[in-house]
Amino acid sequence: MIRSGLLGRAILASSSPRLHEEEGRALGLELTYELFDFTQRGLDDADLAATVASLKDQGFAGFNVTYPFKQAIMPLMDDLAPSAQAAGAVNTVAIRDGRLIGHNTDMPGFRDSLLAGLPGARLDHVIQLGAGGAGSAVANALLSLGVARLELVDPDSARAQALAGELAERYPDAQVTATPHDRLDTAPAQGIVNATPIGMAAKPGTPIPPDAIAPHHWLADIIYFPLETELLRVARSKGCRAINGIGMVVGQAALAFEIITGHKPDAERMKRSLG
CATH class of 2-104+252-272: alpha beta
Mean of the pLDDT values across residues 174-201? Answer: 96
**CB of 77 within 8 A of CB of 94?**
no
Which residues participate in the annotated binding site for shikimate? 14-16, 66, 91, 106, 224, 252
**CB of 215 within 8 A of CB of 186?**
no
The residue extents of the domains of the chain are 2-104+252-272, 107-244
2-104+252-272 and 107-244 share one CATH topology? yes
At residue 118 the predicted structure's pLDDT band, cuts being 50, 70 and 90, is very high
Which residues participate in the annotated binding site for NADP(+)? 130-134, 222, 245
Which residues participate in the annotated binding site? 14-16, 66, 91, 106, 130-134, 222, 224, 245, 252
Catalytic (active site) residue 203: no
Predicted local confidence at residue 13, as pLDDT:
85
Residues with Cβ within 8 Å of 9's Cβ and at least 6 positions away in sequence, in order, are 37, 38, 39, 67, 68
Q: What is the pLDDT of residues 3-36, one digit of tens each?
A: 999 999 989 988 899 999 999 999 999 999 999 9
pLDDT value at 153 more than 70? yes
At residue 110 the predicted structure's pLDDT band, cuts being 50, 70 and 90, is very high
| Active-site residue, from 56, 70, 203, 238 | 70
User: What torsion do the CA atoms of 80, 59, 254, 167 make, to the nearest 10 degrees?
Assistant: -20
What distance in Å separates the CA atoms of residue 100 and residue 120, rounded to the nearest whole number? Answer: 39
Q: In whole numbers, what is the pLDDT of the chain averaged over residues?
A: 96
Please give the share of the chain, as a percent, with pLDDT higher than 70.
100
Predicted local confidence at residue 273, as pLDDT:
85
Q: What is the pLDDT of residues 82-105, one digit of tens each?
A: 999 989 999 999 999 999 999 999
Q: Are strands 99-103 and 92-96 parallel, antiparallel or unpaired?
A: antiparallel
CATH class of 107-244: alpha beta
SS3 for 56?
helix
Which amino acid type is present at position 243? I
